[in-house]
Each structure stands twice: as structure tokens, then as C-alpha cells.
């Protein structure tokens, strides 16, 4: 969601006549798009903004001083407080008012004063704002904003507001436009895409979104994120029926312990989660699964943690995002007492990471020798001779760029790769066609 918001901000800046530069030193305007889901992101933001204070402006800048803006979730949460803590911040805006950015920039440029604008709720979707997409072949498409779930550890509902769905026709219209302009992959966005439409139509209609988007002719369709309590049979069946829906699902479990799941207010049990996985594998046997895990939620015992490890081994994930619990002021969990020593939590976390890697490696081995269609996204970070792209299962695939072509010619195109080697986090192969 932050990446999508950032593409909107970049679109606005381009519309105002700005151009891209490669470093903070060269920039007249710096906008931080922030996240406050965990404390580490908070701390990093404060450090990065603080370090801008003594950075001089380029000599030929038409500005008197560099404009510094903070947007996104931290802007929404802290508002005025940010300019009190860091006086060199010029603009603070929130999650609901990206559209105000041109006005805020112009006013701050004019009067040299701080400007803070944070709204309580969104007036609507920012669909008519300009957008500067990072890649021509891929588009993020928000279908809902906000969240109504109030998981007890999570700050998102407080900074992103209540769940709001976009009308189905509008989503289909935007997707059709992308297909026409050559986009190959659309990723639908929402904090819980499965409850899409409940506010508009009385019942969730996410399966309809998938069906209608498949009919637009898009090559690849993905979505994030799914809440296990709302994943319906119809959506599961879509993995078997819809050609464009890629065989990859991110289904955060957070913990394998029913006691912890209840304390987290997740509204499902380990058994329900595992039953969803069984259904998914019956519908789409080769589906790649990924998840999120929080380690060290208040009250988590060794036995609770072992339940989490058990699910990780049983499900066989290709990717697991692991987080140490981070106390977020204002959430119900922040009031829970916990005396588990930090070293114990860290040890569990390290054990989990080892288990995750072992499982990811095992899953990837299954694809050795297979032919995989890869959407080319760029060069490998380690070796410029290799292209990097994504398989249908969202695995990173590396392959040598053929001598008779260039990376630029391949960007955003599909190539067929024969997988010769499977590593923990990527596959390596040879282009067949
Ligand atoms: N709506 C999505 C994404 C939420 S934020 C979802 O529910 O899946 C992404 C992930 O951050 C969550 O899934 C959770 O694992 C993690 N997270 C959220 N709050 C956290 C906290 N206070 N401490 C540690 N991890 C957290
Ligand atoms: Fe946070 Fe839960 Fe909503 Fe995800 S579903 S954004 S974890 S409250």
C-alpha cells in the first residue's frame, strides 16, 4: 500500500514539473512515505529525517531551503508532534489526504512555515490523482482502504481508518485500462481483500472482483492481503478456475497457538487455518503459500511457539515474513503485561528463521527440472549478466541474458526458463524461449 501511495506522490510531483534525482543532496524536495506497523520503522524514519538537517541544498537550486515532507502512517499518527520534535520538517500529511500535497508544497514554498494537514477519514479513493508507476508492466490496484479487524497488536486500523471498498465497476474499468496499455500483472491491494464489498453491497464480493478482472484479459493477477477468517470457498475455487490468478497466496497466520490467536483477536483457530490450506491444495495442488508470523506476543510460552513451528513445517511455505512483536501504543495488546526475557524471544525468532529457510529450500527443490514462465523484472543484484524475474508462484528466477538480446528488450516480457538449480530464496535456470 505504501508503494502504491508513493507512486501517487511521485505522479503528483511529476505533474508539478519535478524531475527525478539520484540522491538526497541533489533533491530540492524530499518526501518520506512512512510506516508505523513496527517500532523499527519509526526509529529509522526519525533518524533519516534528522540527518537531513545539516545537508546543504544544491548550489543552483531555485529554492531557499530544501522542502521536507513526512506522509503516510507516521504523519497520520503524529501530526503536529513531528514538527515539534524535528523543526526542519516543513510539511506533514496523513494517509487520507495525498491529494492536498500540491497545495501544501506551494504554500510552504511561499511562506516558509510548517504546514500540517491530517484528516480523520478518507473523502474517497485517490483514483483520479496522477500516478508515476515504477514499472510499465505492473500495477498496484487498491480495492479497499482501511481495516475493521482490530487485531490486538496492530496500529493499522488507527492510522488507515475504517474499511472502505471501491465500486466494482470502477475497479474493472481501471484494470481494463491497464490491460489496454500493456500491463501484464495487476496486484490487488487491501488490508483484508477477502472482505471486499461488505460495506458497499452488504456481503463480501471479492470472488466477483477476481472473476471480472480475469475477464479483462490480464495475464497475471495477484492480491494482498488475505485474512484467514474471511477466505471463502469461492475465492479458493478461483485458484482452480481462473487462468490469470497466479498459484500463490499470502495467508498470514501470525501464530499457531489457539490461545495466542484469541489474544490477538484473529478469530480463527489453527485447525481452521490448516483446513483452508487443505482445501487450497485440493483446488490448486502446486500453490505456493507464504505467511506472516509474530514471535513474542505477550504471554507466548515455549509450548505456544512450538505450535507455530508445527504449522510452519506442516504447511511448507515458500516464504515466511517473521517479526518480533513490537508494542504499539494505543492498541489493546500494549496494555498486556509480559515478562518473557528479550533473549528468549530472540532465540525463538532465530530458531524460526532457521526453520523457515529449511522449508523454503525444500519447497523450491520441487521445481528443479521444470519449465517456468518468468516475467522479467530486471537484472540480478549479484550478477548483471543474469536477468531476474518472477515465476507464477512468485519465486525469484535468475537466468543468463541471451547473447542476441539485451535486458531492456526483455523487461516486462515473458520468457520460459528451465530450472536447473533451486536455492532457498531463488531459482536459477536457462532460457528456453
Ligand atoms: N493487513 C495485513 C497486513 C498487516 S501489517 C494482514 O493482516 O495481513 C503486516 C504484518 O505486520 C502483519 O501481518 C503482522 O505479522 C505484522 N505486524 C503488525 N503489527 C505488528 C506488531 N505490533 N508487531 C510485530 N509485527 C506486527
Ligand atoms: Fe492489522 Fe489485523 Fe487489519 Fe491486518 S487485519 S491490518 S493485522 S488489524
- Which of 35, 37, 227, 300 is the best mutation target for the ligand 1 pocket, counting ligand atoms within 8 Å of the beta carbon and taking the most? 37
* Maximal CA-CA distance, the chain: 64
Q: pLDDT by residue (tens digit) across 172-231?
A: 999 999 999 999 999 999 999 999 999 999 999 999 999 999 999 999 999 999 999 999
Distance between Cα 37 and ligand 1 center (Å): 7
pLDDT class for 16, splitting at 50, 70, 90?
Answer: very high
Q: What pLDDT shows up at residue 104?
A: 97
pLDDT at 281 over 90: yes
> Between the CA of residue 118 and those of 6, 74, 108, 400, what are the distances in Å?
17, 11, 16, 49
H-assigned helices in 286-405: 302-315, 342-365
pLDDT at 398 over 80: yes
pLDDT class for 32, splitting at 50, 70, 90?
Answer: very high
Q: What pLDDT shows up at residue 55?
A: 92
Distance between Cα 328 and ligand 2 center (Å): 13
Query: Considering the chain, what percentage of its residues have pLDDT values greater than 90?
Result: 94
Mean pLDDT in residue range 139-144: 96
Residue 328 CB less than 6 A away from ligand 2: no
To the question of pTM greater than 0.85 for the whole model, the response is yes
Distance between Cα 298 and ligand 2 center (Å): 17
Closest CA relative to residue 285, chosen from 124, 409, 357, 393: 393
Residue 258 CB less than 6 A away from ligand 1: no
Cell 510452519: give the residue: 312
Mean pLDDT in residue range 46-74: 93
Residue 373 CB less than 6 A away from ligand 1: no
Q: pLDDT by residue (tens digit) across 66-83?
A: 999 999 999 999 999 999
Lowest-pLDDT choice from 48-57, 204-213, 385-394: 48-57
> Between the CA of residue 189 and those of 77, 146, 209, 305, what are the distances in Å?
22, 11, 12, 30
Q: Tell me which DSSP letter residue 194 carries.
A: G
Residue 191 CB less than 6 A away from ligand 2: yes
pLDDT class for 127, splitting at 50, 70, 90?
Answer: confident
pLDDT class for 129, splitting at 50, 70, 90?
Answer: confident
Q: pLDDT by residue (tens digit) across 399-424?
A: 999 999 999 999 999 999 999 999 99
Q: How far apart are CA 28 and CA 26, in angstroms?
A: 7
Mean pLDDT in residue range 254-283: 98
- Which of 323, 324, 333, 356 is the best mutation target for the ligand 1 pocket, counting ligand atoms within 8 Å of the beta carbon and taking the most? 323
Q: What are phi and psi of 32, to 5 degrees?
A: -95, 120
Q: How far apart are CA 31 and CA 102, in angstroms?
A: 12
Residue 297 CB less than 6 A away from ligand 1: no
Q: What are phi and psi of 80, to 5 degrees?
A: -50, -35
Residue 158 CB less than 6 A away from ligand 1: no
Torsion angle defined by CA atoms of residues 74, 6, 140 and 226, in that order, rounded to the nearest 10 degrees: -10
Residue 149 CB less than 6 A away from ligand 2: yes
Residue 254 CB less than 6 A away from ligand 2: no
Residue 191 Cα: closest atom of ligand 2? 6
Closest ligand to the CA of 224:
1
Q: Is the CB of residue 325 less than 8 Å from the CB of residue 345?
A: yes
Instruction: Give the residue whose CA is nearest to atom 2 of ligand 2.
Output: 151
Q: Tell me which DSSP letter residue 273 carries.
A: H
The grid coordinates listed for 423 are 536455492
Mean pLDDT in residue range 297-312: 98
> Between the CA of residue 319 and those of 107, 139, 162, 266, 357, what are the distances in Å?
45, 22, 29, 21, 8
Residue 266 CB less than 6 A away from ligand 2: no
- Name the burial class of residue 60, with classes exposed (0-12), middle (13-18) and buried (19+) by CB atoms within 10 angstroms of its CB: exposed
Q: How far apart are CA 379 and CA 239, in angstroms?
A: 30
Residue 38 CB less than 6 A away from ligand 1: yes
The grid coordinates listed for 295 are 514471535
* Residues 6+ away with beta carbon under 8 Å from 11: 129, 130, 131, 132
Closest ligand to the CA of 250:
1
Helix (H, G, I), strand (E, B), or coil: what is residue 132?
Answer: coil
Residue 148 Cα: closest atom of ligand 2? 3
Q: How far apart are CA 215 and CA 221, in angstroms?
A: 11
Q: What pLDDT shows up at residue 33?
A: 96
Residue 195 CB less than 6 A away from ligand 2: no
Residue 154 CB less than 6 A away from ligand 2: yes
Closest ligand to the CA of 230:
2
- Which of 252, 261, 321, 335 is the best mutation target for the ligand 1 pocket, counting ligand atoms within 8 Å of the beta carbon and taking the most? 252
pLDDT at 124 over 80: no
Instruction: Give the residue whose CA is nearest to atom 11 of ligand 1.
Output: 37
> Between the CA of residue 339 and those of 183, 343, 345, what are the distances in Å?
51, 11, 11
Q: What pLDDT shows up at residue 125?
A: 74
Distance between Cα 194 and ligand 2 center (Å): 12
Amino acid at each position: 500500500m505504501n508503494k502504491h501511495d508513493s507512486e501517487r506522490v511521485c505522479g503528483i510531483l511529476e505533474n508539478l514539473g519535478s524531475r527525478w534525482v539520484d540522491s538526497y543532496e541533489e533533491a530540492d524536495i524530499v518526501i518520506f512515505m512512512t510506516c508505523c506497523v513496527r517500532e523499527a520503522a519509526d526509529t529509522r524514519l526519525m533518524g533519516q529525517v534528522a540527518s537531513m538537517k545539516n545537508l546543504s541544498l544544491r548550489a543552483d537550486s531555485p529554492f531557499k531551503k530544501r522542502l521536507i515532507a513526512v506522509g503516510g502512517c507516521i504523519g497520520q499518527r503524529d501530526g503536529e508532534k513531528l514538527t515539534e520534535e524535528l523543526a526542519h520538517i516543513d510539511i506533514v500529511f496523513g494517509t487520507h489526504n495525498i491529494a492536498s500535497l500540491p497545495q501544501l508544497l506551494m504554500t510552504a514554498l511561499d511562506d516558509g512555515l510548517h504546514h500540517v494537514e491530517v484528516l480523520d477519514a478518507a473523502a474517497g479513493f485517490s483514483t483520479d490523482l496522477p500516478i508515476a508507476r515504477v514499472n510499465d508492466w505492473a500495477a498496484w490496484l487498491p480495492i479497499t482502504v482501511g481495516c475493521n479487524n482490530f487485531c490486538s497488536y496492530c496500529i493499522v486500523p488507527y492510522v488507515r481508518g475504517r474499511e472502505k471498498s471501491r465500486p466494482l465497476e470502477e475497479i474493472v474499468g481501471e484494470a481494463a485500462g491497464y490491460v489496454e496499455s500493456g500491463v501484464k500483472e495487476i496486484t490487488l491491494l487491501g488490508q483484508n481483500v477477502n472482505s471486499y464489498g461488505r460495506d458497499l453491497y452488504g456481503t463480501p464480493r471479492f470472488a466477483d472482483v477476481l472473476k471480472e478482472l480475469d475477464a479483462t484479459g490480464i495475464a497475471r493477477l495477484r492480491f494482498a492481503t488475505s485474512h484467514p477468517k474471511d477466505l471463502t470457498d469461492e475465492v479458493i475455487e478461483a485458484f482452480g478456475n481462473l487462468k490469470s490468478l497466479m498459484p500463490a497466496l499470502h495467508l498470514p497466520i501470525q501464530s499457531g497457538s489457539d490461545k495466542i490467536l484469541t489474544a490477538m483477536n484473529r478469530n480463527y483457530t489453527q485447525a481452521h487455518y490448516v483446513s483452508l490450506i487443505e482445501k487450497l491444495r485440493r483446488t490448486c495442488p502446486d500453490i505456493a503459500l507464504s505467511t506472516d508470523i509474530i514471535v513474542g506476543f505477550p504471554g507466548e510460552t515455549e509450548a505456544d511457539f512450538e505450535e507455530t513451528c508445527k504449522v510452519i513445517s506442516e504447511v511448507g511455505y515458500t516464504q515466511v515474513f517473521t517479526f518480533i512483536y513490537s508494542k504499539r501504543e494505543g492498541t489493546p495488546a500494549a496494555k498486556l503485561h509480559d515478562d518473557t526475557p528479550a533473549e528468549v524471544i530472540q532465540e525463538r525468532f532465530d530458531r524460526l528463521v532457521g526453520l523457515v529457510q529449511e522449508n523454503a529450500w525444500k519447497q523450491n527443490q520441487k521445481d528443479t527440472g521444470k519449465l517456468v514462465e518468468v516475467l522479467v523484472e530486471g537484472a540480478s543484484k549479484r550478477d548483471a549478466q543474469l536477468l531476474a524475474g518472477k515465476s507464477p508462484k512468485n519465486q525469484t528466477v535468475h537466468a543468463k541474458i541471451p547473447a542476441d538480446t539485451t535486458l531492456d528488450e526483455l523487461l516486462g516480457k515473458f520468457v520460459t526458463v528451465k530450472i536447473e538449480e533451486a536455492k532457498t530464496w531463488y531459482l536459477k535456470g536457462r532460457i528456453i524461449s
